[in-house]
Structure 1
Amino acid sequence: MSAAARFSLKRQLLVWLLLPQLVLWLMGGVLAFRVALAYAEKTIDQSLTQSVRSLARQVKPLGSGLLIDFPRAAQDIMEQDPSDRVAYMVSSPPGSFLLGNTKIPAMQPDLYMPDNEPRLYEVVLDGKPMRVASMDLSFGDGFTDQRMRVQVAKSLVVQQRIARELVRDVLFPLLLLGAVLSVLVYEGIRRGLAPLERLEAQLAHRATASLSPIEMTQAPEEVHSLANALNHLLTTLRRSLSQEKRFLNDAAHQLRTPLAGLISQTELAMQEKDPAALQQRLTKVHTGAQRSAHLVHQLLSLARTEAEVALHPVDVATLAREVAREWTPRAVAAGVDLGYEGEDALTVPGDKLLLREGLSNLIDNALRYAGKGSNVTLRTQVRDGHCLLEVEDNGPGLSAEHLERVFERFWRASELPGGCGLGLSIVAEIAQRHRGTATARTTLPHGLTISFRLPLQG
């Protein structure tokens, strides 16, 4: 068995339920981090815009020059957090360092920017990424116009720290919820598969001899369906085993006597000196062998009728005429008038081989016991919405007491040689397999009629 076939249902359910949860959790973490970065960047941009405008207000035009009113306290405030580095620069003309704590590169490419409109971009200072707000201003005395650029840069370390904190604050509760959900999923799967485990335990400890039905009082509908299917299988198997056991018992019981007789006659024949007496012994051996062969054939037919059969449309009228023709030579040899009456065509759902076997048994039984000079009629007709297959004879018939036992196995009303008491039992089994019945009634003034009553083809 491959590794994939050994992969348990519980593991498959856990993988298919928890793996998507893990993937969604990771995707949620990435998405949350990106959203946190975007919000942190927006916060930094607002802070930089406010800072660059404030710094621009501290630089005031004075004639053709500039008055920079930037107290030391304000400078200390901007540089107070070493980890959150803040750089600023005032240049006039733009790019020519005038004031600040470091030189900040201009936006690339260095395009002309309208006055009093901050522009935001990113640069790398001393190997660290920074966000820059830049704003250009115009000043002068009306004769000579000059331009000034104010730049404030802020490290992105704070942005990343804020993003990490946001992600941590969001994902940690989600991780706890995911762990709780995983436990609940596992427990749900365990409880959901518990009926299957109970079903497995019942099957593992079930005795082969009993094959009793499986009882599932509290289980999901799907497990009930599985249990019902298994119960149907167990019922079929129990019936098959019972039929097999009954067949073996019947065969052992019925073959014991003729085989013992054959052995006895054979031993006597080997000791016989008189040719005429030897001929009589051999005749008895031949008769016993024929009876044993007939018994084996009947037992095998009985076993075949007890199996499940597939029903197909069969024209029983045509089949009855064929069977009657096949038995005509035997009827002539027995001095019996065998004929057919009934429909030209009549279709029923059935198994052609079994129906032929049933009709043959009925004719064989009639020819054997009706007696020389009697009439036997094979008849097909429709009555009360059903098909009737009948074999009628005008022989001695049976008493009312014997009619009740005519379909019992190994029961014989006559001690005439050749029979084994299984022919009419086979007929009853065949009728049952075709969802029909077999009945026997006395024919007036004397005789016997055996009938198949079968449903018509819908």
Structure 2
Amino acid sequence: MRLRSHLLRWLLIPTLALWLLGSVIGYLHSLELAHEAYDRTLLGSAMAISEQITVVDGDVVADVPFTALEMLRTDAQDRIFYRVTDLGDGGYITGYEDLPSVGSGSSEEPRFYDTIYKDQAIRVVAIESTVLDGDAQRHLLVQVAETLDARHQLTRSIAGDAALVQLILIATAASMIALGVARGLSPLTRLQDEVLKRTAHDLTPIETGTVPFEVAPLIHAINAHTERQRQFGAAQVRFVANASHQLKTPLTVLRAQVDHALLQTDLASMRAIVSHLHESTDETGRLLAQLLSLARSEAQYAREVQDLDLTDLAHEVTFEMLTLARGKGIDLGFEAPCAVQVQGERVLLREMIANLVHNALVYTPEGGRVTVSVGRQDERAALWVVDNGPGIAVAERPRVLERFYRIAGSREHGSGLGLAIVREICDRHGIVMELGDALDSVSGLRVQLVWPGEVSDNERGYISKANHFNA
């Protein structure tokens, strides 16, 4: 639907409707004025007749003057009727005997009424007149009537002229309205031309300085949507760049290991190569999972926030890491003095905890200890992952949160994405992340996460979880 046509319809159609209503009201008002003007002439004719009525030898004589009827003559050729009646005995004196009567009762004031006579609508005036018959008075009723052609002709002339003038004014106003609408919408036309000239990759915000005030909120909304699309596209570009960069080396290694295995004839040598191939496949799979998690943690993706039991979620993730912990003989523990409720995206929070625990297990030496704890910090939900591994130097801590950064000299395999993913998810949920030293050992790393907002006790009340899976 075109906005210009829509505006013109809403402006002009009501105007035409008002014109029609005004024309009807004008016609009725003009008819009232015509009645008022012609009724004066009708009354004058009746009074002229009543003045010429006399009594001769006891008989009422009505000498109807020519001027009494001539004053009613018009170009419309209206027909004229009259009647004189004796109110005393109801006797007919002169005129049209079957002219409809005014009805019962008497009045000193002239009475006007409409009726039908000889299949024509007529307007009648009735006045009472008194003449002397010796010492007695005789009361007479004089009625004069005329058809309504002249009245209607005058009414149509007055109402038609007025309607024509109004229509000319409306047509002039419609032209001005159409011009005003066109000029008012011209900024939108320029905006349309500006957008059409843009390339597919041009996602810069649209300027709102030249658009009408009422359209500015729409442009702001479009700019916000465009910005989300720009961020989404940038995230896809980053994901493709990261994936192509990070997967190139592992895939090359896998290809080389497969080629090397195909050249072997000794079963033992082949099994050793396949074992390395298995490890490389696991590392590549985890790298791909981390890349996908990093892409999902981007802020422009839609959020699916829900109420979560942080204690159950952390306990579940910790238990799933048991196989990796047992493989290195690490004492993996979980502690939770209370059940803590938080709000967030379950998939991302699960990935965040999994990355923290996995990093701790990977960098903690064999026979070490890793403890995952859930509780409260200043009445806020908190989670801690503590290990007794080599830790991270204070100067390196800000950098390990960057993507693909690895500490120089590190012997463990990794992509440098674990803590970067944790930081992205924390930023998305407003969680404060802090890296520090382990409190109860000479070395080690303590990662603390604190959720925003105060928490209340879970309906289950306080519980106690202190599991050490590798006691």
Question: 2:197, 2:129 → 1: CA distance?
Answer: 93
Q: Which residue of 1 aligns with 2:425?
A: 430
Alpha carbons of structure 1 residues 393 and 147: separation in structure 2 relative to 1, 3 Å: closer
Query: Aligned partner of 2:347: which letter?
Result: L
Query: Aligned partner of 2:351: which letter?
Result: E
Given the alignment, which residue of 446, 451, 460 partners 1:449?
A: 446
Deviation at 1:371? 0.5
Deviation at 1:421? 1.7
Deviation at 1:32? 1.5
Alpha carbons of structure 1 residues 91 and 377: separation in structure 2 relative to 1, 3 Å: closer
Q: Structure 1, unaligned stretches of length 5 or more?
A: 1-6
Q: Which residue of 2 aligns with 1:87?
A: 80
Question: 1:90, 1:269 → 2: CA distance?
Answer: 134
Question: 1:363, 1:424 → 2: CA distance?
Answer: 11
Structure 2 counterparts to residues 108-257 of structure 1, below 5 A = 108=100, 120-121=112-113, 129-135=121-127, 141=133, 150-257=142-249
Question: 1:173, 1:344 → 2: CA distance?
Answer: 85
Deviation at 1:207? 3.0
Contact 1:213 1:231 in 2 (8 A): yes
Deviation at 1:252? 1.0
Question: 1:263, 1:57 → 2: CA distance?
Answer: 132
Alpha carbons of structure 1 residues 28 and 106: separation in structure 2 relative to 1, 3 Å: farther
Query: Aligned partner of 2:400: which letter?
Result: V
Q: Which residue of 2 aligns with 1:289?
A: 281
Query: Aligned partner of 1:359: which letter?
Result: I
Question: 2:60, 2:286 → 1: CA distance?
Answer: 133
Query: Aligned partner of 1:304: which letter?
Result: R
Question: 1:417, 1:115 → 2: CA distance?
Answer: 122
Alpha carbons of structure 1 residues 158 and 429: separation in structure 2 relative to 1, 3 Å: same
Contact 1:87 1:154 in 2 (8 A): yes
Question: 2:393, 2:141 → 1: CA distance?
Answer: 131
Range with greater deviation from structure 2 (227-236 or 319-328): 319-328
Q: Is 1:397 the counterpart of 2:391 in the alignment?
A: yes
Question: 1:115, 1:333 → 2: CA distance?
Answer: 124
Local SS of the residue matching 1:387: strand
Alpha carbons of structure 1 residues 370 and 107: separation in structure 2 relative to 1, 3 Å: same
Question: 2:218, 2:29 → 1: CA distance?
Answer: 50
Alpha carbons of structure 1 residues 333 and 92: separation in structure 2 relative to 1, 3 Å: closer
Query: Aligned partner of 1:429: which letter?
Result: E
Question: 1:106, 1:285 → 2: CA distance?
Answer: 125
Query: Aligned partner of 1:276: which letter?
Result: A
Note the aligned Cα RMSD (angstroms): 3.4
Question: 1:32, 1:383 → 2: CA distance?
Answer: 81
Contact 1:113 1:136 in 2 (8 A): no
Alpha carbons of structure 1 residues 70 and 455: separation in structure 2 relative to 1, 3 Å: closer
Question: 1:67, 1:97 → 2: CA distance?
Answer: 8
Question: 1:422, 1:270 → 2: CA distance?
Answer: 33
Structure 2 counterparts to residues 297-336 of structure 1, below 5 A = 297-306=289-298, 307-336=301-330
Given the alignment, which residue of 41, 58, 66 partners 1:64?
A: 58
Contact 2:83 2:97 in 1 (8 A): no
Given the alignment, which residue of 348, 356, 359 partners 1:354?
A: 348
Question: 1:398, 1:252 → 2: CA distance?
Answer: 29
Normalization by structure 2: what TM-score?
0.82
Contact 1:309 1:433 in 2 (8 A): no
Given the alignment, which residue of 246, 259, 265 partners 1:273?
A: 265
Alpha carbons of structure 1 residues 45 and 442: separation in structure 2 relative to 1, 3 Å: same
Question: 1:301, 1:162 → 2: CA distance?
Answer: 88
Local SS of the residue matching 1:246: helix
Question: 1:71, 1:222 → 2: CA distance?
Answer: 75
Question: 1:411, 1:327 → 2: CA distance?
Answer: 24
Deviation at 1:434? 0.8
Alpha carbons of structure 1 residues 243 and 164: separation in structure 2 relative to 1, 3 Å: same
Q: Which residue of 2 aligns with 1:440?
A: 435
Query: Aligned partner of 1:26: which letter?
Result: L
Contact 1:107 1:121 in 2 (8 A): no
Q: Is 1:419 the counterpart of 2:414 in the alignment?
A: yes
Q: Structure 2, unaligned stretches of length 5 or more?
A: 456-471
- Figure out how many residues of one structure are paired with residues of the other and give that number: 447
Alpha carbons of structure 1 residues 267 and 449: separation in structure 2 relative to 1, 3 Å: same
Q: Which residue of 2 aligns with 1:43?
A: 37
Contact 1:134 1:149 in 2 (8 A): yes
Query: Aligned partner of 1:208: which letter?
Result: A
Question: 2:302, 2:71 → 1: CA distance?
Answer: 96
Alpha carbons of structure 1 residues 89 and 287: separation in structure 2 relative to 1, 3 Å: closer
Given the alignment, which residue of 20, 27, 51 partners 1:26?
A: 20
Query: Aligned partner of 1:380: which letter?
Result: V
Q: Is 1:262 the counterpart of 2:251 in the alignment?
A: no
Contact 2:309 2:342 in 1 (8 A): yes
Local SS of the residue matching 2:415: coil
Question: 1:206, 1:182 → 2: CA distance?
Answer: 36
Q: Is 1:383 the counterpart of 2:358 in the alignment?
A: no
Percentage identity across aligned positions? 32
Deviation at 1:64? 3.1
Q: Which residue of 2 aligns with 1:4?
A: none
Question: 2:396, 2:186 → 1: CA distance?
Answer: 57
Alpha carbons of structure 1 residues 406 and 195: separation in structure 2 relative to 1, 3 Å: same
Contact 1:58 1:68 in 2 (8 A): yes
Alpha carbons of structure 1 residues 251 and 396: separation in structure 2 relative to 1, 3 Å: same
